[in-house]
Amino acid sequence: MSAPAVGLHEFSVVSNEPAAEGLMRVVLSAPALARELSAGQFVNVAVPGDASQVLRVPLSFSRADGEAGTVEIVYAVVGDGTRRLAAMAAGETSTAVGPCGNPWPLPAGARRACVVAGGVGITPVVACARMLAGAGVAFDAVVGAQTAGRLWGADVLEGLGAGRVVVTTDDGSAGRAGFTTAALADLLAEGGYDVVYTCGPEVMMAGVARLCREAGVACRVSMERMMGCGFGACNTCNVAMADGTYRSCCKDGPVFDAEEVAW
């Protein structure tokens, strides 16, 4: 069966509330879009409020509920577009382009996985965990944030059935002090993983990719670029590949095999 075509979807805001320091959680009512999205894909949202801003905001989602017709997005408020999105109230409407990009793959025969999130990379990682739970694949999780106040998602992963959830913070205010890569190294040393999924700062994902390569474990990464159009037309979101070529983050990604990326 072919994947749903990228389309334009109207949505209304159900709720839009703080999730953590600097993070917001918006729930959109968009029934057709919610039914078509697969974990790892993204949506390109038109945020009203400034007619001079013609580009949409590309956002990963943490949950697409086809039955309820809703899409949950946890996003960082970092620029004009996301600041305007944070100001949208329940009942306000706009449009989103989607489903965009390729989803997280589930390797045949996978029995145990680990998901690794850094910062707002937790959003597509939570969607990945939902996919794993739905497929009956056991998983552990590593969740990193700068500080306890910016932490979101660890309890969600526990609720989805994660075997272990290791929290790391840069300042040690929650979980263990340090980086997600150190926690992942400890888990990989125990063995037993078929695949690792990760999203977060690129330097973190490069470290995760290196650790997985050394451990002989498959690794899938969700890359971040400024994706102006969301479907491969504007050629602004190129990702350098290990073979010397470039691929489009929005059309060929955002999920890539870590071994394909030029870190």
* Region for residue 104 given its phi and psi (left: phi exceeds 0; alpha: psi -120 to 50; beta: otherwise): beta
Note the pLDDT tens digit of each residue in 153-177: 999 999 999 999 999 999 999 999 9
> How far apart are alpha carbons 108 and 126 in whole angstroms?
21
Average predicted confidence (pLDDT) for the chain: 95
Query: Residue 4, Cα to own-chain centre: how many angstroms?
Result: 20
> How far apart are alpha carbons 238 and 94 in whole angstroms?
28
Evaluate whether the domain defined by 7-100 bears CATH number 1.10.3720.10: no
Mean per-residue pLDDT for 176-198?
97
The CA angle 108-112-117, to the nearest 5 degrees, is: 105
Q: What are the start and end residues of each CATH 3.40.50.80 domain in the chain?
A: 112-222
Confidence check: pLDDT of 1 > 60: no
Query: Residue 258, Cα to own-chain centre: how many angstroms?
Result: 15
> How far apart are alpha carbons 178 and 164 in whole angstroms?
18
pTM over 0.85: yes
Mean per-residue pLDDT for 80-89?
96
Q: Binning pLDDT at 50, 70 and 90, where does residue 2 land?
A: low
Q: Binning pLDDT at 50, 70 and 90, where does residue 226 land?
A: confident
> How far apart are alpha carbons 129 and 164 in whole angstroms?
12
> How far apart are alpha carbons 158 and 139 in whole angstroms?
10
Per-residue pLDDT at 68: 98
Per-residue pLDDT at 235: 80
Confidence check: pLDDT of 60 > 60: yes
Q: What are the start and end residues of each CATH 2.40.30.10 domain in the chain?
A: 7-100
Confidence check: pLDDT of 232 > 80: no
Note the pLDDT tens digit of each residue in 97-151: 999 999 999 989 999 999 999 999 999 999 999 999 999 999 999 999 999 999 9
According to CATH, what is the number of the domain 112-222? 3.40.50.80
Note the pLDDT tens digit of each residue in 31-54: 999 999 999 999 999 999 888 888
Per-residue pLDDT at 4: 80
Contact 78, 24 (CB under 8 A): no
